[in-house]
Amino acid sequence: MKFFTLFVVLASSIFLNGCQEDSKSWQESSSNVMRVLDNTASPVVKSFETYEVVVVGDTNLSEAQSTSQSSKALYGTIDGKSTDALLKLNSNYSSDTQVVVEVYSSGKLVGSSEKIKIGNQSAIDFGNIETK
């Protein structure tokens, strides 16, 4: 599992370094940001319309917590279109964990949500993201 965690961190780093320099993401402004995992220990990265949607957060799960029996839905709209239940977060993240939904087009950050505290709810609204 340590190899998997290292792989996720390295893959995230490669993806983020591939983004164009004029994009300012939360990852670039904070050294403690990592990809958020779903309940199968996979990074939450999904295709939506013509975009790639990535969820990043300020908390890293331990190896024992990287998989979970349930998940928390993260929903909202991108350019006014509902994501429905596209994004699922591992339920082992603490209620104090903060996440940001980032939207990419061709590797360039084109929109992001505000920081969202997960809290204790089972479904979290990230609001509306307008892309540039």
pLDDT tens by residue, 117-126:
999 999 999 9
Specify the higher pLDDT residue, 31 or 32: 32
- In which band, very low, low, confident or very high, does the pLDDT at 1 lie, cut at 50, 70 and 90? very low
3-state secondary structure of 14: helix
Is the predicted pLDDT of residue 33 greater than 90, yes or no? Answer: no
At residue 27, the pLDDT reads: 53
Task: Count Cα neighbours of 37 within 13 Å in the Cβ-side half-sphere.
Answer: 26
3-state secondary structure of 85: coil
Given a contact cutoff of 8 angstroms between Cβ atoms, the answer to whether 2 and 63 are in contact is yes
At residue 15, the pLDDT reads: 43
Percent of the chain with pLDDT over 90: 74
Taking residues 72-98, report their average pLDDT.
97
- The 8 Å CB, 24+ separation contacts for 30-35 are 30/58, 32/58, 33/57, 33/58, 33/100, 34/8, 34/9, 34/58, 34/59, 34/60, 35/8
Taking residues 63-90, report their average pLDDT.
96
Specify the higher pLDDT residue, 2 or 51: 51
What total of structural domains would you count in the chain? Answer: 1
Residue range of the domain that includes 88: 2-129
- In which band, very low, low, confident or very high, does the pLDDT at 7 lie, cut at 50, 70 and 90? very low
Rounded CA-CA distance 116/71 in Å is 16
